[in-house]
Amino acid sequence: MGRRKGSNTAQTSTNSSNQFEGTKIRFQDADDDGVATDNSNLDESILAVDKATEDVSMGEPDVSFVDSDAGDDKTSADYYFDSYSHFGIHEEMLKDVVRTKTYQNVIYQNKFLFQNKVVLDVGAGTGILSLFCAKAGAAHVYAVECSHMADMAKQIVETNGLSDVITVLKGKIEEIELPVAKVDIIISEWMGYFLLFENMLNTVLYARDKWLFNDGVVLPDKASLYLTAIEDAEYKDDKIEFWNNVYGFDMSCIKKQAMMEPLVDTVDQNQIVTNSHLLKTMDISKMAPGDASFTASFKLVAQRDDYIHAFVAYFDVSFTKCHKLMGFSTGPKSRATHWKQTVLYLEDVLTICEGEAIVGSMTVAPNKKNPRDVDIMVKYSLSGRRCVVSRVQFYKMR
């Protein structure tokens, strides 16, 4: 396997570029037949977003995560809003054509949802989604942005002659007051690495519960998290085993920390060894804030004889209220996005034969100290002809 390029760790703030082309999509299991619909970067490997999330238990998991950062007060929560004041992050997101074009298509191709409606844009950034909504005929759009980019968004709205339709409000959703009691639509691009990194989902849910009409629409309204397994010998050696011998010195004490930090990177689809398993589907229009913490079981079946060095997580997003199903995937078999995939390296190298299965569970929860960080616990076992292993590993996205 050739070395991947353009990687970065989960320490990079979220929220890219690949030319958007409409392709046939389907939210179906890769092993099942399905019906194609039009949109975005999804391909025939994507699992059903709306199928039942089997083997998932929700609620606050009773798990004690290892805290390796005692005494470290610098967190993603401290820097979150400041990071979005820098135009470079917004440039990356806007140039992620899969992301931005999907939102544009959702709005422009479904104007019946927006015409004469009041819209709330949560985490508006440059205001691009608000601009789309205004052009689609919204009666008024309230664009809420907490970072200093709100000042630029106001200028952008004025420059484009839309000040009579778009009102930019600077502040936290939890602290601002809207000039209206209720809104018809809430739109947001809240997804982080691993879907849940940075914990912006709870902000959207707060806005939904406070301001959305009972029959209002949340866009997007579905998000699904998946897990697969890959061969990654060369890159794991470069990123993890490297610490065993650094210019003749043993720095293996860093190796444990490196193993605990998921890597945000683009995975070549040829590295994939197993099927993809749907861990959880979230219905943004109905879920409770606590539902973002969950434990889900998984079964990954090898599709060939190979070695497994890491699990890989990715997510799909869908807009089910549209005239036709629309959405996109961040999976390794779909056109790349700025979210890439999330790689969780294993302490063991698993020698797996075709048809053998890795079974286990993944527990996901916000870090208790820094809720914008994500704690992940993976229990997994393999009882194969050439490898028998059972282990628990902890990860922390920060």
Task: Give CA–CA dist 375/246, Å, rounded.
Answer: 29
Specify whether the CB–CB gap between 360 and 293 falls below 8 A.
Answer: no
Of these residues, 91, 158, 177, 198, which one is catalytic? 198
By DSSP bridging, strand 183-188 and strand 118-122 are parallel
Active site residue 354: no
- Walk across the sheet containing 388-397 and list its strands: 56-58, 294-301, 357-366, 374-383, 388-397
Active site residue 44: no
Of these residues, 145, 189, 261, 356, which one is catalytic? 189
- Long-range contacts at 85-94 (CB < 8 A, ≥ 24 apart): 85/147, 85/148, 85/149, 87/149, 87/152, 89/13, 89/15, 90/125, 90/126, 90/149, 92/16, 92/17, 92/338, 93/15, 93/16, 93/125, 93/189, 93/338, 94/126, 94/128
In 3D space, the residue among 322, 285, 320 whose CA is nearest the CA of residue 106 turns out to be 322
Specify whether the CB–CB gap between 347 and 327 falls below 8 A.
Answer: no
The catalytic site residues sit at: 189, 198
